[in-house]
């Protein structure tokens, strides 16, 4: 398992076109996570969540500040990455997609390991199929099996269920709770869905559209959790309310010219309205789900 230390991390992108200002994607991101923990970064689109994950995985370099990711013995951590779109190689079978990321050991051993992870995600029957023959949910499961098959110390997940239909996504969230429990890896999970963050995480970092961490919350609920559990619905509603206040404050700061400029062409008022609309929709959805099952 890994230790991740983010110390005052800032990322500024150069302007895309002449005459535009540089874009501050994230600013002053400072936190630590250690061991078997599930941390979600939740925030509106464009607030810098993916940029932060890219810095953790060293795809991007921070402009300022420092990121350290260490394995158990203080050595280099193994980092697994699950993307929004599973990014499987379409010309390789399911098992070969998993074998592709394995290093070391004899082919027979690697194959056995790959099969073990396919079994874990319920896809042992699909091992000789090609990605194009699988549903979106099955492809995402292969992506998760592939990431787990390297025995990561830290698993980075970037909105992995956002392209799936609601029923498949719900099943995958339940499955992920079980997989995380068995895998014993730390997870850093990016989402804009508050329900998803509450359901899965024992800690939620709320990011505002200025690219800063607004709140660091512990979610002290037992697993497994269901999205219709009363405590999950209640916490979701509390966090959504927090979101509305946060975006209104952030909109005011930017209107007064006190806040950092963000890249999004959206005006501050639009961001606040979007946040309110999604908060309302999510609360209504949660209430409807609760009524359906009660």
The piece of 47-55, 76-84, 108-116, 118-126 that touches ligand ADP (CB under 6 A) is 47-55
Strand order in 38-42's β-sheet? 79-82, 154-158, 186-191, 38-42, 203-207, 213-218
Sequence-distant (≥ 6) Cβ neighbours of residue 63 within 8 angstroms: 10, 11, 12
Sheet holding 23-34, edge to edge: 23-34, 3-13, 64-70
Contact letters for ligand ADP, residues 264-293 (x by CB under 6 A): x-----------------------------
Question: Please, which residue, 95 or 240, has the CB nearer to ligand ADP?
Answer: 240
Structure token pair of residue 252: 């005011």
- Residue 259 interacting with ligand ADP (CB under 6 A): no
Query: Where does this chain touch ligand ADP (CB under 6 A) — which range of 135-143, 148-156, 194-202, 256-264?
Result: 256-264
Does 25 sit near ligand ADP (CB under 6 A)?
A: yes
> Per CB under 6 A, which region of 41-49, 66-74, 119-127, 236-244 contacts ligand ADP?
41-49
Contact 186, 110 (CB under 8 A): no
Least distance from C-beta 285 to ligand ADP, angstroms?
Answer: 21
User: Residue 10 interacts with ligand ADP (CB under 6 A)?
Assistant: no
Tokens at residue 187, please? 């997870």
Tokens representing 55 are 């810095």
What single DSSP character describes residue 163? Answer: T
Site for ligand ADP in 51-110 (CB under 6 A): 51
Interface segment toward ligand ADP; rule CB under 6 A; list 49-57, 164-172, 176-184, 274-282: 49-57
CB 229 within 8 A of CB 286: no
Phi, psi for residue 255 in degrees, rounded to 5: -65, -35
Residues at the site binding ligand ADP, with contacts judged by CB under 6 A: 13, 16, 23, 25, 43, 45-51, 262-264
């Amino acid at each position: 398992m890994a230790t991740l230390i983010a110390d005052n991390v800032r990322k500024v992108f150069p302007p895309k076109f002449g005459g535009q200002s540089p874009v501050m994607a994230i600013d002053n991101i400072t936190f630590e996570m250690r061991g078997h923990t599930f941390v979600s970064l939740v925030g509106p689109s464009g607030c810098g969540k993916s940029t932060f994950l890219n810095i953790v995985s060293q795809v991007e370099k921070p402009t300022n500040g420092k990121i350290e990711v260490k394995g158990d013995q203080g050595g280099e951590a193994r980092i697994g990455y699950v993307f929004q779109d599973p990014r499987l190689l379409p010309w390789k079978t399911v098992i070969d997609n998993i074998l592709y990321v394995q290093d070391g050991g004899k082919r027979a051993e690697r194959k056995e390991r790959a099969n073990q992870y396919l079994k874990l995600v319920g896809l042992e029957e699909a091992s000789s199929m090609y990605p194009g023959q699988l549903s979106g949910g099955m492809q995402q499961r292969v992506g998760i099996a592939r990431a787990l098959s390297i025995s990561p110390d830290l698993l980075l997940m970037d909105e992995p269920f956002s392209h799936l239909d609601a029923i498949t996504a719900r099943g995958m969230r339940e499955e992920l709770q079980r997989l995380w429990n068995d895998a014993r890896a730390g997870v850093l999970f990016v989402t804009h869905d508050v329900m998803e963050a509450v359901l899965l995480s024992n800690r939620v970092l709320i990011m505002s559209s200025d690219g800063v961490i607004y709140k660091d919350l512990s979610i002290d609920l037992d697993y497994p959790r269901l999205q219709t559990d009363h405590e999950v619905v209640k916490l979701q509603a509390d966090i959504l309310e927090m979101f509305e206040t946060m975006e209104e404050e952030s909109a005011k700061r930017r209107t007064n010219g006190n806040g950092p400029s963000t890249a999004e062409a959206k005006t501050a008022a639009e961001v606040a309205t979007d946040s309110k609309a999604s908060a309302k929709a999510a609360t209504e959805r949660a209430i409807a789900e609760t009524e359906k099952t009660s």
